[in-house]
A = this chain, B = another copy of it.
């Protein structure tokens, strides 16, 4: 089980760390990719190593994509390599799990039209404008796509992510 996370400075700390720890608990491996490889820092000061640069990542090497929230997604969403990665996972129908502001990356990549999803409340209008069916629920599973709103939703988010990863 190999999972890719896309993030950057100002990530929402628990939204990156809790899924990271959960996947590792199940014996999975996680690569963290950012615009360049190196240390990234969360809003609350936790630091993790982004061990990949997005331009060097091959989506085919991974079973799933996780998009944590915070301010990181806004820093990533206009990057062509980030958008291409998001498209590759969605087109391959691999699990894509986005929480909080994470769905912004999927909006920017033009992937939300006709999808049922949730997100951080202030991101709701962006999802609707992108053609998504936005719901205010702890977790929404629409095919391969898993979305949640806030850190308190992590139990439901991780539960659905692990179900998909176990196949």
Beta-carbon contact of A158 and B25 below 8 Å: yes
Interface centre among A18, A46, A154, A159 (most CB of B within 10 A): A18
Is A13 close to B, CB under 8 A? yes
Contact partners of A151 in chain B: CB under 8 A: 17
CA gap between A155 and B3 in the complex, in Å: 15
- Least CB distance, A77 to chain B, in whole angstroms: 26
Interface centre among A17, A24, A25, A151 (most CB of B within 10 A): A25
Contact partners of A158 in chain B: CB under 8 A: 21-22, 25
CA gap between A22 and B162 in the complex, in Å: 12
Is A44 close to B, CB under 8 A? yes
Contact partners of A22 in chain B: CB under 8 A: 18, 22, 25, 155, 158
Is A14 close to B, CB under 8 A? yes
Is A60 close to B, CB under 8 A? no
- Least CB distance, A162 to chain B, in whole angstroms: 8
Contact partners of A162 in chain B: CB under 8 A: 25
Contact partners of A143 in chain B: CB under 8 A: none
Beta-carbon contact of A44 and B155 below 8 Å: no
Beta-carbon contact of B155 and A14 below 8 Å: no
A18-B18, A25-B155 provided; 12 other pairs, C-beta below 8 A?
Answer: A14-B14, A14-B17, A14-B18, A17-B151, A18-B22, A21-B155, A21-B158, A22-B155, A24-B155, A25-B154, A25-B158, A44-B46
Q: Can you report 14 residue pairs joining A to B where beta carbons are below 8 Å apart?
A: A13-B14, A13-B44, A14-B14, A14-B18, A17-B18, A21-B154, A21-B158, A22-B25, A22-B158, A24-B155, A25-B159, A44-B44, A44-B45, A44-B46
